[in-house]
Amino acid sequence: MKNLFALFGSLLLALGIILALNNNTLFPSFGEADLTERVSGEYLTQDEIDALGSANIVTSIVVGYRGFDTLGEVTVLFISSLGVALLLGTSAKQKRLELNFKPNFMLRVGSRALFGFILLTGIYIILHGHLTPGGGFPGGVMIASAILLLYLADDQFRAKIKGFKILESISGSLYVIVGLLGMLLATYFLQNFLPVGTAGDLLSAGVIPVIYILIGLKVGSEISGIIDNFLTEEEAK
Amino acid sequence: MIQYIAIILFVLGLYGLLVNRNSIKMIISLNIMEIGLNLFIISIGFVYDGIAPIITSSAGSGGLIFVDPLPQALVLTAIVIGVGTTALALAIAKSIYVKHNSFDLNEVEETV
Amino acid sequence: MFDIISLVIGVLLLVIAFLAINSKKLIQAVLFLSALSMLSVVAFVMMKAPDVAITEAVIGSGLVTSLFVFTLLSVRKGETK
């Protein structure tokens, strides 16, 4: 009975959304968007690209024009990592979860060779965030994936979680300090105060690569902390 | 076409959230809703014959038709926040399992 | 060409989402969610959004699936005790 109500409610909602957006004058149809009437038309002119210096326009929006929203997103990730650590971590000593399968010697040794490649790909994607697609967020998650590989291949491995927590706190504080430096040396919070080169060089776009490096380190260490919390349990006395 | 699929995916996720009583299935339905929503937001900014918003040559951006970059920036934020939500929800589900020995939310009794 | 590919991907998305909601075992639903994430990366690339595609590919395949599997492993551990 409840299932029937849920089915009718969902079908009614889908029909309502489709009918409201179908022939609406305020909602352009698929593929016919006119960029000159939207605010993105100003971000794509040549003067704005030279003023900010980044070749990847999505990066210049995420870190340049809407940098304060990215600070809020980093805060939300911090809150979720804090919640996981409160729920699943204990103050007693911890050991790895005892599972049924044990990885063998080849897996334990061979995964260390792959660890370097994944780490290198993550660092490359973080550093070239203003030139190619990618940036701080996928690069940080790739670094955490390298640590996840080490956790999966060896059942006695534990990363140095204390070092990760210190790294995460320092990167988060440095993001706010870079913003405050922008307020000191220039006009407003998170303004560009380093020299802006030409778009396309590695050392261009002012303070944007610095912020992406800080975001990449922070996200990588946070997700590694979450994975460690999921795979450990309290040491039974 | 993609916009219809995205709306139906969103409503499918909502139906799954209402019908299932297993907490892992509810978190999976929440993730399906988020995938449908991200697809819809990006399909708003699509322009036929547009290219990806990255400057590739030194000739500059005059005369090229770009795809709208603003919805892509919003969806980038939304995907990362979805990960945070999923991680916290899974930690809560695991704590419920350790205490009450079941994932089914009908069998979990609260003692106030 | 664009319409044909988007139609095929769209139908596959709907079928896999329906299978993920109505499956009996939990591990099957998690694997269907991972496949859904990968197909949505193809849809993102078709709509010319490479930043979003890289982020969703890394997060959907590596992180979310592994967190689900780690939660489900603790169930099996409880059963064998």
Q: Is A100 near chain C, with CB under 8 Å?
A: yes
Are the C-beta atoms of B15 and C24 separated by less than 8 Å?
no
Q: Which residues, including other chains, have CB under 8 Å from residue A128's CB and lie 6 or more apart? A: A134, A202
Name the nearest CA neighbour of A205 among A125, A126, A128, A120. Answer: A128
Q: Is C1 near chain B, with CB under 8 Å?
A: no
Residue B22 φ then ψ, to 5°:
-85, 130
CA distance B65 to A177: 38
Sequence spans of domains, chain A: 56-234
* Angle between helix C50-58 and helix C26-46 axes, rounded to 10 deg: 160
Name the nearest CA neighbour of A137 among C58, C33, B85. Answer: C58
Residues in chain C closer than 8 A to B32 (CB atoms) = 17, 20-21, 33, 36
Q: What is the pLDDT of residue B88?
A: 95
pLDDT tens track for A178-214? 888 888 887 777 777 777 777 777 777 788 899 999 9
Q: Which domains are present in chain B?
A: 2-48+66-100 (1.10.287.3510)
Residues in chain C closer than 8 A to B55 (CB atoms) = none
Residues in chain C closer than 8 A to A73 (CB atoms) = none
Q: What is the pLDDT of residue C77?
A: 58
Burial class (CB in 10 A: 0-12, 13-18, 19+), A37: exposed
Sequence spans of domains, chain C: 2-80
Q: Which of C24, C41, C45, C52 to mutate to test the interface with B (most CBs of B within 10 A)?
A: C52
Q: Is A137 near chain C, with CB under 8 Å?
A: yes
Across the interface, whether the CB atoms of C48 and B24 are under 8 A apart is answered no
- Partner-chain residue, chosen from C55, C62, C74, that has the shortest CB–CB distance to A137: C55
Q: What is the pLDDT of residue C78?
A: 54
For the entire predicted model, the pTM comes to 0.92
- Local confidence pLDDT in tens for the 112 residues of chain B: 899 999 999 999 999 999 998 999 999 999 999 999 999 999 998 988 888 888 887 666 677 888 999 999 999 999 999 999 999 999 999 999 988 888 888 888 776 5
pLDDT tens track for C28-81? 999 999 999 999 999 999 999 999 999 999 999 889 999 999 999 877 655 544
pLDDT tens track for A1-48? 888 999 999 999 999 999 998 888 888 888 887 888 888 888 888 888
